[in-house]
């Protein structure tokens, strides 16, 4: 392993471990969430591990700048810090199975006891849930909607479970075995007075209030089979609503009290059914081999959220109230169950086995998730893996991207609307970083194959794969010249990372830079006469340019310690880059998009901010810049005019929306997002 690679990894690791003071962690979260008037939660804690927190600026050294991002999903610089030893173990930091960016843990304590989500108070300010302190002991707990002020409500050596708040906020309904078997109980919150509502020797479970609070639903096997029953609380009158073989469970009224959703095994599989409030007109909303559980109505009655067991684990799904438009909300390898909508319809609490024990978590469910089309968002990929790095074809009709769907990185191609997805790299190689040729007929990429990482090229349909570099050293980061006749790339064949150039067929390889430094991320000028790149020749990461006619290099950014990703504007008159501003590099300050002249003069920050703005890219017309920013507490996509005016926020979500890419006509932006659990490629329209 090269010495520079060892030093780089040690530096990045040290930055990661020292980047955030633990004693300021709570304050950081308080500020982020209190300012936005959103539910606040404590950082997610893995059992026996350090807390997880928002990445520091030093951790966001993304792939565009050549570093290996330790907390991001992105693949690293192609000359990775170590070679893979076998297929399926490419030298990439694998996509972490951390909780998605839009999840918030509400119950880090008491740990490691299991906690199961219950229900919201009518005003949305409090949540009731259950905690298992020992086998055979489940207690009712209460907390505020921010996950604070957690304390027990009912405790004892009994099974007190499935709590639900009454519509008037005065009572908690729950099931308990405190009478010897499971019955339905009610507690008056102000006095803690308990009232037993059912006394049958059978099992009475899963109680739910009617919207008016004068009736309850529950399931019971008092008739020999688990069926749905209704009780009128003032009179105690009981009515059996279902009469079918097989289990019927988990009933819930819609907000108007006219319909009841429930789970039934009458078809041999647990499916979601809906029926009239009198038990008539029952019909299935879901059909298939997967089992479902815990259906719950949205506050407006238009949707139903539920949990589905598919692929070996439970995930959250949502559908319209007639069973149509089913959307998968979570794709994490853990189990997610028992979802409950907040009264305002903006949040969902649920139970997750993310930490190997059950916890109560919170996530937002706005229209960008439930109905992306209504906010001009389109989800282009929806695999269970991570699909990242959208690259548009020059005609805007196709998108190439990288996917880990095969448990290793491969290159895929799809139409610009997400249809006709196909893997185009081979099953015998790990491949990534596709780059379209200017005519759109070929894709340049790197691959690990035959024991080495090299630059390859293939036709746009995946045919005619050719190896362009064959040196035992690592070669990568190939970029086409504007006329498509030459390729610049980075190679370690001289012992350090240098820039090389070759013809498009791999012939006439020529070394371009001659230093002991690391030179990387080359970008061609639009006229093909110069190349900008990043180098640590002076000891800092700075931007240089190379005149291909004279071979002369020019130092463009001697003013700061961290400057990366120098991209040319289409007319060749400006260079856009990510520059460190505000203090000593990695100590104080932030990354901001900076524009300068090709000779390094006229530097100007586009959108100064104490938070990081990353991955800035010119629009094809050169009149706008897209980037992702932490300025409101989590990464979202922004667009700003080329002069720094008219900044617009393009995405609004607590997830990570990162690494934007313009369509050739400048009307759409593709980006990576983990808003559905794993990283997928999404697209947003750019308003005129």
Q: What pLDDT was estimated at residue 175?
A: 97
More confident residue, 141 or 28: 141
Average pLDDT (492-520) is 93
Q: How many CA atoms lie within 13 A of 558 on its CB side?
A: 5
pLDDT confidence of 94, banded at 50, 70, 90?
very low
Integer-rounded Cα radius of gyration of the chain:
29
Cβ(377)–Cβ(684) below 8 Å: yes
How many helical (H) and strand (E) elements, i.e. helices and strands, does the chain have? 3, 52
Average pLDDT (256-282) is 95
pLDDT digits (tens, 9 = 90+) for 555-570: 999 876 788 899 999 9
By mean pLDDT, which of 68-82, 489-503, 554-568, 649-663 is the weakest?
68-82
- Backbone φ and ψ for 13, nearest 5 degrees, come out as -65, -45
By C-alpha distance, which of 479, 466, 679, 672 is closest to 567? 479
Is pLDDT at 77 greater than 50 in this prediction? no
Chain mean pLDDT for the chain: 82
Q: What pLDDT was estimated at residue 409?
A: 87
More confident residue, 231 or 374: 231
What dotted CATH number matches 104-375? 2.120.10.30
Is pLDDT at 303 greater than 50 in this prediction? yes
Q: What pLDDT was estimated at residue 136?
A: 81
Say how far apart CA 652 and CA 633 lie, in whole Å. 11
Q: What pLDDT was estimated at residue 37?
A: 36
Is pLDDT at 197 greater than 60 in this prediction? yes
Is pLDDT at 278 greater than 60 in this prediction? yes
pLDDT confidence of 133, banded at 50, 70, 90?
confident
Residue percentage of the chain with pLDDT more than 90: 58
Say how far apart CA 241 and CA 208 lie, in whole Å. 14
pLDDT digits (tens, 9 = 90+) for 526-537: 999 999 999 989
The DSSP letter of residue 85 is S
Say how far apart CA 437 and CA 522 lie, in whole Å. 16
Cβ(365)–Cβ(346) below 8 Å: yes
Is pLDDT at 3 greater than 50 in this prediction? no
Is pLDDT at 513 greater than 50 in this prediction? yes
Say how far apart CA 161 and CA 175 lie, in whole Å. 5
Sequence-distant (≥ 6) Cβ neighbours of residue 597 within 8 angstroms: 573, 574, 575
pLDDT digits (tens, 9 = 90+) for 40-50: 333 333 222 22
How large is the greatest C-alpha to C-alpha distance in the chain, in angstroms?
96
Q: What pLDDT was estimated at residue 289?
A: 67
Average pLDDT (380-391) is 89
Is pLDDT at 416 greater than 90 in this prediction? yes
Cβ(621)–Cβ(595) below 8 Å: no
By C-alpha distance, which of 360, 356, 354, 274 is closest to 319? 274
Q: What pLDDT was estimated at residue 374?
A: 65
Q: Which tokens sit at 280? A: 């008539």
Residue percentage of the chain with pLDDT more than 70: 82
pLDDT digits (tens, 9 = 90+) for 602-628: 999 999 888 888 899 999 999 999 999
By C-alpha distance, which of 66, 95, 60 is closest to 4? 66
pLDDT digits (tens, 9 = 90+) for 317-369: 999 999 998 887 876 778 999 999 999 998 999 999 988 889 999 988 876 66
By mean pLDDT, which of 101-105, 427-431, 491-495, 590-594 is the weakest?
101-105
Say how far apart CA 607 and CA 617 lie, in whole Å. 14
Q: What pLDDT was estimated at residue 168?
A: 97
Is pLDDT at 311 greater than 80 in this prediction? no
Sequence-distant (≥ 6) Cβ neighbours of residue 132 within 8 angstroms: 113, 114, 115, 116, 138, 139
Say how far apart CA 60 and CA 7 lie, in whole Å. 18
Q: What pLDDT was estimated at residue 511?
A: 96
CA 239-241-245 angle, 5° bins: 125
For 126, 363, 653, the CA distances from 146, given in Å and listed in that order, are 8, 12, 18
Is pLDDT at 64 greater than 60 in this prediction? no
Is pLDDT at 433 greater than 90 in this prediction? no
Is pLDDT at 96 greater than 80 in this prediction? no
pLDDT confidence of 25, banded at 50, 70, 90?
very low
Highest mean pLDDT among 30-34, 67-71, 98-102, 247-251: 247-251
By mean pLDDT, which of 343-352, 445-454, 468-477 is the weakest?
445-454
Say how far apart CA 603 and CA 266 lie, in whole Å. 70
């Amino acid at each position: 392993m090269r010495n520079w690679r060892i030093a780089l990894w040690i530096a990045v690791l040290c930055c990661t471990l020292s980047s955030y003071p633990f004693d300021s962690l709570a304050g950081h979260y308080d500020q982020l969430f209190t300012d936005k008037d959103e539910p606040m939660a404590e950082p997610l804690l893995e059992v026996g591990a350090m807390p997880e927190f928002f990445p520091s600026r030093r951790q966001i050294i993304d792939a565009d700048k050549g570093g290996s991002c330790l907390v991001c999903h992105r693949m690293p610089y192609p000359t990775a810090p170590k070679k893979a030893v076998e297929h399926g173990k490419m030298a990439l930091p694998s996509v972490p199975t951390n909780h998605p960016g839009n999840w918030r843990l509400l119950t880090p304590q008491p740990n490691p006891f299991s906690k199961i989500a219950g229900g919201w108070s009518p005003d949305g300010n409090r949540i009731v849930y259950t905690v298992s302190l020992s086998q055979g002991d489940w207690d009712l707990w209460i907390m505020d909607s921010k996950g604070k002020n957690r304390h027990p409500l009912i405790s004892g050596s009994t099974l007190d479970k499935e709590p639900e708040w009454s519509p008037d906020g005065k009572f908690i309904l729950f099931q308990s075995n405190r009478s010897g078997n499971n019955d339905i109980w009610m507690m008056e919150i102000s006095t803690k007075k308990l009232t037993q509502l059912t006394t049958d020797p059978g099992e009475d479970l899963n109680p739910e209030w009617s919207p008016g609070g004068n009736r309850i639903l529950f399931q019971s096997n008092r008739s020999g089979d688990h069926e749905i029953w209704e009780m009128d609380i003032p009179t105690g009158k009981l009515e059996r609503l279902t009469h079918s073989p097989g289990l019927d469970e988990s009933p819930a009224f819609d907000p108007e009290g006219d319909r009841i959703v429930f789970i039934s095994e009458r078809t041999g599989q647990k499916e979601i059914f809906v029926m009239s409030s009198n038990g008539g007109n029952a019909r299935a909303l879901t059909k298939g081999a997967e089992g479902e559980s815990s259906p719950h109505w949205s506050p407006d009655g238009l949707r139903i959220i539920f949990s589905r067991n598919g692929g070996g684990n439970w995930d959250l799904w949502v559908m319209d109230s007639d069973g149509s438009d089913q959307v998968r909300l979570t794709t994490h390898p853990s189990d997610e169950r028992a979802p409950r909508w907040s009264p305002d319809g903006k949040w969902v609490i649920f139970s997750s086995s993310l930490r190997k024990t059950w916890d109560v978590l919170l996530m937002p469910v706005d229209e960008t998730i439930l109905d992306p089309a209504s906010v001009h968002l389109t989800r282009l990929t929806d695999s269970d893996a991570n699909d990242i790095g959208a690259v548009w074809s020059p005609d805007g009709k196709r998108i190439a991207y990288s996917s880990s769907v095969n448990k290793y990185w491969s290159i895929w191609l799809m139409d610009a609307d997400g249809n006709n997805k196909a893997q185009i790299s081979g099953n015998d190689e790990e491949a990534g970083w596709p780059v379209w040729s200017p005519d759109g007929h070929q894709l340049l990429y790197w691959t690990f194959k035959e024991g080495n990482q090299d630059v390859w090229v293939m036709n746009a349909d995946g045919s005619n794969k050719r190896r362009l570099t064959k040196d035992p050293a690592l070669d990568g980061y190939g970029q086409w010249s504007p006329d498509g006749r030459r390729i610049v790339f980075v190679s370690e064949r001289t012992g350090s990372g240098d820039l090389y150039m070759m013809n498009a067929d791999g012939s006439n390889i020529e070394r371009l830079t001659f230093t002991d430094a690391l030179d990387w991320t080359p970008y061609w000028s639009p006229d093909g006469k110069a190349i900008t790149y990043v180098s640590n020749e002076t000891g800092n990461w700075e931007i240089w340019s190379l005149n291909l006619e004279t071979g002369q290099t020019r130092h463009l950014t001697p003013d700061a310690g961290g400057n990366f990703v120098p991209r040319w504007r289409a007319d060749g008159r400006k260079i856009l880059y990510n520059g460190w501003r505000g203090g000593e590099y990695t100590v104080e300050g932030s990354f901001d998009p900076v524009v300068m002249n090709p000779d390094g003069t006229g530097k100007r920050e586009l959108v100064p901010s104490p938070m990081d703005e990353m991955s800035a890219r010119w629009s094809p017309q050169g009149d706008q810049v897209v980037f992702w920013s932490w300025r409101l507490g989590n990464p979202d996509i922004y667009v700003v005019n080329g002069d720094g005016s008219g900044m617009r926020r393009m995405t609004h979500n607590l997830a990570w929306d990162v690494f934007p890419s313009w369509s050739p006509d400048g009307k759409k932006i593709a980006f990576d997002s983990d808003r559905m659990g794993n990283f997928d490629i999404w697209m947003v329209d750019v308003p005129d």
